[in-house]
A and B are shown apart, each in its own frame.
Chain A
Amino acid sequence: MTTPATVFVVDDDASVRTSLSRLLRSAGFEVEAYALGEQFVARGPFDGVGCVVLDLMMPGGSGTELQQRLTELSSDLPVVFLSGHGAVSDGVRAMKQGAVDFLTKPVDEEVLLATIDAAVARHRAARAARDERDAVRRRVETLTPREHEVMQCVIGGALNKQIAAHLGIAEGTVKLHRARAMEKMGAASVADLVRLCDLAGVETTRCS
């Protein structure tokens, strides 16, 4: 059983806010409801899995503006838009900015829940990918500079001899660093190491 996803409802209309919260809770979601975008932003970062349900038309800044700010704040929470009148231009803008979906009020529970499920799944996947990357990066950070250098050359496809020559160290030393890096990175093969480094954004070095 995974931890329950949290849905953030941002709508200035109290009735809509309350009713949406009720429906989502009844469907098993954790719900946090906010009347204004600022209130939600002020809440601070969120580590869990979930999504945002945003009213497109709100006082004190439209929904798309809040989406913009969330992106700027490196929030990876998917945004589902709810719109009163489904103006196509608003929808297009929202989708371009990475909204998961664009729904028109009144929205049927099946559509809403399916959309939110999809958004949460996406967030869960994204969160998983991010978690793995962070783990790999943490492993990269345990490497000594020399081990890092050797690893960069290894993923660049160089042989030990070439690495030794490139770095001006003994081939045996290269072998040692290479083994230590593989171990620290938890890579079973060079191909595995290449994937992990790619994930962590480690740059390759051409030794030839």
Chain B
Amino acid sequence: MLRATASVLLVVLGCGMASAQTAGDAVAAKRVLALYTDDRLLPAVQQGEEGLRAGLEAGPPTGIEYFGEFFQAARFPMAGHDEVMHAYLLAKYRDSPPDVLVAAGRAVLLFLLDHRQTLFPGTPIVFLGLSEDEVPRDRLDASVTGVPGSWDLVPAVELALRLQPGTTRMVVINGVSAREQELVAPLREAATRVADRMSFTWLANRTLAQLKTDVAALPRGTAVLFVSQFEDAAGHFYRSRDVVEMLAPLSSVPFYGLYESQIGYGLVGGTMQTWNTVGQVAATLVKRILAGDNPQAAAEGLEMPVSTIVDWREMKRWGLDETRLPPDTDIRFKQPTLWEAYRTQAIIFTAVGVAQLMLIAALAVALQRRRVAEATRLQAEVKAAQLRDELAHSARVTMMGELATTLAHEINQPLAAILSNAQATRRWLKADHPNLDEVRATVDDIIADDKRAGEIIHRMRALMKKGDHKPQRIDLAQAIRDVAALLQGELIAADVTLRLDLPPEPLPVDADEVAMQQVLLNLMMNGIQAMKEAGGRIRQLHVHAARAGESVVVTVHDTGKGISEETRARLFEPFFTTKTSGLGVGLAICRRIAEAHGGRLEVGVASTGGATFLFSLPTPEATS
């Protein structure tokens, strides 16, 4: 596969080389030598050469060989160098003499005419870049031809009137150099042709500083025609475009001009020939001559086309209406909108971009929504959990409040015992022969009682404790015993006997111990209070706990008045209470605790009167 591709490539390359060879053999190359007065880097020269070469390459005929020479007359004056250039060109092109010569600029044309006998004698000459009055008609023979350039004032006036209909006066700026002064006469002559529409003020002998002041104070209805400013009245030399660049920003009115090279430096524009066109016209002449036309005949009917060129930025600056421009106006420096420059691409990219953005936005929104929803849900869950914990804690605190009196009694009992034991011991120790056995037994009792008080306080504190309690393996039977111990005082005060019906072996469950104690405490206290309120003679609280299949079931039965049907329905609702004290959240919280542990809390139907509550939890084996 790789080898096959390589072979195809070789074949294609071979074909390309073969065709080039064929072309070289078939056509005898024609040579065109273009001589330029100025430096190759001047914009006017560059554009002119571009136009010329483009015209030559466009064919027919094809295969014209082009050579360019640049005299750089500004740096190396013709007077001192024309012999050098003469010898140089003679030597250089001896073996490949040009078929047509192109003379760009008056100085080069005069040079060729001066050396007509020795340098490429008889070779047709096409001149370019000369205005009509620059053409040395008296020295031309039939082999010299060209289309003179046009630098007319009238089209500029017309453009100004198109764009600014109210304009009545035109200020003409021109320099003081001899070359510039030569331009004045034809311009003044042209001005007379539009005198009915426009009056003119000539600023042809001013310093740059004066011009700066002049242009800044021009009244409405005025426009500036900038011609040239190589040299000002103070004798300073400039490039015209630099002067335009300095003056135009200060001006109170728009600048128009005659030369394409000044476009882009502050002129609104003008109707003028472009250097590119000048080159193209010359190329047309060259090709006609190469095709066998007589040079004079070749120029017949050829005119130097002019075009209106404007600087879009200046149009904008002066608020000029684009629609007033003549058709085919070359609008330069227009920052095309994305739409104009890349209409199709813009549509595609925009569409793709919009689609992507919408997709991204949709995804982002979806993600954000999900995040928000997640965060909200988590927040709500955390808040709910916090609230439940708070409520459970409040319920425990309330319950402990209800228990406070009896719990104080529970703690007080061992404290009382400790005090009496200690004081008895002190008395014995005062005796001559204290009974140390009795002292020892008493101290043991003191220790036991102290521990008993400590345990009660510990249990209380555990129940009062706030915060999250982690489930762990606990013995539910022991939890029942612990709670029963806390309730001792309460049982006595309410004259209730407690019957604990617990198996000898532990009843392991995975649960939060404090929560379990809370549930048991709640159920047992409810029972005690129910019997106290009922005021019956038989007051027995029966707590039974045992394993039943995969559950550990605790039943708490009292011999109170029982629960009415309507109470039963609302029993587990928060803030429902039949008691005068308490929050009424006890059973609601207990049910939630039971359910959170995978268990249940229900009220049973007691056949023998009183109320029965069933509290069940899964065994650790059932949950694992």
Contact = CB atoms under 8 A, between A and B. Distances in A.
B424 A13 contact: no
Interface string A1-31: 0000000000011011011101101110000
B50 interface: no
A109 interface: yes
Given A15-B417, A19-B445, A19-B449, 8 more contacts: A15-B413, A16-B420, A19-B417, A19-B421, A23-B427, A26-B427, A59-B495, A109-B427
Interface string B449-475: 100100000000000000000000000
Main SS of chain B's interface residues?
helix
Contacts of B418: 19, 106
Interface in A33-76: 57-61
Most buried by A among B423, B442, B489: B423
A105 interface: yes
Given A19-B418, A84-B408, A108-B419, A12 B449 contact: no
Contact of B415 (A82, A106, A108): A106
Given A15-B452, A85-B409, A20 B420 contact: yes
Contacts of B423: 23, 108-109
Contacts of A61: 495
Interface string B398-431: 0000000100110011111111110110011000
B493 A57 contact: yes
Interface string A60-102: 1100000000000000000000101100000000000000000
Contacts of A106: 412, 415-416, 418-420
Contact of B428 (A16, A18, A26, A84): A26
Contacts of B452: 15
A85 B408 contact: yes
13 contacts: A16-B416, A19-B418, A19-B419, A19-B449, A22-B420, A22-B442, A27-B427, A59-B497, A84-B413, A106-B415, A106-B420, A107-B416, A109-B419
B420 A23 contact: yes
A84 B299 CA distance: 138
- Chain A to chain B: the 7 pairs with minimum beta-carbon distance, closest first: A19-B420, A15-B417, A106-B416, A105-B416, A84-B409, A26-B427, A22-B424
Contacts of B416: 16, 19, 82, 84, 105-107
Contacts, number: 85
A114 to B, nearest CB: 13
Most buried by B among A25, A58, A60, A85: A85
Interface of B: 405, 408-409, 412-421, 423-424, 427-428, 438, 442, 445, 448-449, 452, 489, 491-493, 495, 497
Interface of A: 12-13, 15-16, 18-20, 22-23, 25-27, 57-61, 82, 84-85, 105-109, 112
A109 B438 CA distance: 18
A89 to B, nearest CB: 13
Nearest to A27: B427
B454 to A, nearest CB: 14
B405 A85 contact: yes
A25 B405 CA distance: 31
Nearest to A82: B416
Given A15-B449, A57-B492, A84-B413, A107 B419 contact: yes
A161 to B, nearest CB: 67
Nearest to A13: B413
Nearest to A105: B416
B413 A16 contact: yes
B424 A26 contact: yes
Nearest to A58: B492
Most buried by B among A13, A60, A107: A13
Contacts of B428: 26
Contacts of B421: 18-19, 22-23
A85 B43 CA distance: 115
A83 to B, nearest CB: 9
B427 A105 contact: no
Contacts of A22: 420-421, 424, 438, 442
Contact of A105 (B412, B448, B449, B493): B412
Contacts of A20: 420
A59 B494 CA distance: 9
